Structure 1
């Protein structure tokens, strides 16, 4: 079997030094569609170095996302990358991310689950700088055709949507060239740029990166329900439920909930939670992101 679950989980973590500066942060924000309107003070917080703050989902691309790459090359993992799908993503923030910095990113396979027709790898990356922990990031990676060895199936939590109207609904257009810009932050998969490669993967044209939708959704939640304050985000997770194409529009529905992990890594105070669902407007609200939660202070 190409995946040796016990060997993968027992393997020594891999560490690498990563670094970023304001240009990396600005490029990431622009790849999410920030900067429209260009002179809007709220957008300048994402695009102008003298006012810059860092959206917490930047953690998924800092150091070009080396944590996931390291996990897929861990001992006990020998898989065909064409069989790999990004199933879900979560990040926990231990403190606000600096505009520039250097950190040590440590990656490991935290778990391997047997879903029958697929295996799920939980690839965990933890980053820390001289002042201490910055973030913990978990990527849930589906590997088609690699299940069936009788292992633990793992969690399968699904969130019911609140039985009331959303507290906010916003729509965010995806520019035609947005995937081409977003990939400059480190995800060079040709699926998001090359029409011929996309056809080989079963799509009639390139699709948007799931992590781009993930970042766009967090930005919408921060701007709409958290007063534009990125430092209030404590944790953020989603399940990738479907694809979206450049040129389409994300419909982002948000509900305010009580509770959450607002004190995690922060001031220890009470926090709140935002539950979100994301769909593609032009395809009759086809699902894009599900089981999506932002915990905040």
Structure 2
């Protein structure tokens, strides 16, 4: 297996047309644990159609549909069983509507040589029916065993070390034992998230939570904790998948305000394990401090 950067970079990674409704948004947000306090007006705004707010992380659902052609990219040969979703980023040009139709075009934006692995970045741009761009997803895929092809080195991680002071906001988020079974209704039916036998073959004691579910949970916690639930202010959110979360565990989300940027770290404190690192929440409007 080999990687030919000249053929692969810029090539199409797929395309899709996706329509979503208020029901789809509610189902996604319930899959992240929204509505845990049914007496909270902020929580009800995530699950009731007459006041619905859309979390920016919903963009991962249509975005994922636009990169399903990855296996057909010319010059990109790798062992699919050794691929990991290393990082994810969403960039929004306006708040997500509660219901609409978008067209998504995916492409290979970059491939970096990590020596023993290749880091492939897919970019999926979703546009409204009138052609205006709504949001972009960037998938950073770590392809073990595919390195050493002489490609460029990856740039340094964004943000640098976390502030040495205590976080400004700490949000503990208990997950449900059935969290992965709820989230899979959004379309990711990989059995490692639902079937104990498959999870065991993958080396886990039990099924693990979807990485993009953790991504959404952490995004919601940061939006609630720092922005008071104002989803419309989010311009960008990115994070690195640093470890697994088992359904039923509590994810503790720590946030540091730095002007219009929020640095984010998510950990499972009971296991002393990172879940998401290198988190960046970029907001519009006034500073978060």
Same fold, TM-score > 0.5, yes or no: yes
Q: What is the CA distance between 1:70 and its match in structure 2?
A: 2.5
Equivalent pair of 1:233/1:294 in contact (CA under 8 Å) = yes
Distance 1:191 1:156 in 2: 31
Question: 212-221 or 11-20: which moved more?
Answer: 11-20
5+ unaligned residues in a row in structure 1: which ranges? 259-271
Equivalent pair of 2:14/2:68 in contact (CA under 8 Å) = no
The secondary structure found in structure 1 opposite 2:118 is strand
Q: What is the CA distance between 1:221 and its match in structure 2?
A: 1.0
Aligned length: 282
Q: Superposition pairs for residues 1-297 of structure 1, below 5 Å?
A: 1-12=1-12, 14-62=14-62, 65-131=64-130, 132-157=132-157, 159-258=160-259, 272-284=260-272, 286-297=273-284
5+ unaligned residues in a row in structure 2: which ranges? 285-289
Q: What is the CA distance between 1:72 and its match in structure 2?
A: 4.1
Distance 1:10 1:92 in 2: 19
Q: What is the CA distance between 1:202 and its match in structure 2?
A: 1.3
Q: What is the CA distance between 1:79 and its match in structure 2?
A: 3.0
Task: Kindly report structure 1 stretches of 4+ aligned residues shifted beyond 6 Å.
Answer: none
Q: What is the CA distance between 1:39 and its match in structure 2?
A: 3.0
Q: What is the CA distance between 1:12 and its match in structure 2?
A: 4.3
Question: 234-243 or 78-87: which moved more?
Answer: 78-87
Aligned in 2, Cα 1:83/1:75: closer, same or farther, shift over 3 Å? Answer: same
Equivalent pair of 1:56/1:96 in contact (CA under 8 Å) = yes
Q: What is the CA distance between 1:254 and its match in structure 2?
A: 0.5
Equivalent pair of 1:70/1:108 in contact (CA under 8 Å) = no
Superposed CA deviations along residues 226-249 of structure 1, whole A, max 9, x for unmatched, are 121100000011011111111111
Equivalent pair of 1:248/1:281 in contact (CA under 8 Å) = no
The alignment's C-alpha RMSD in Å is 1.4
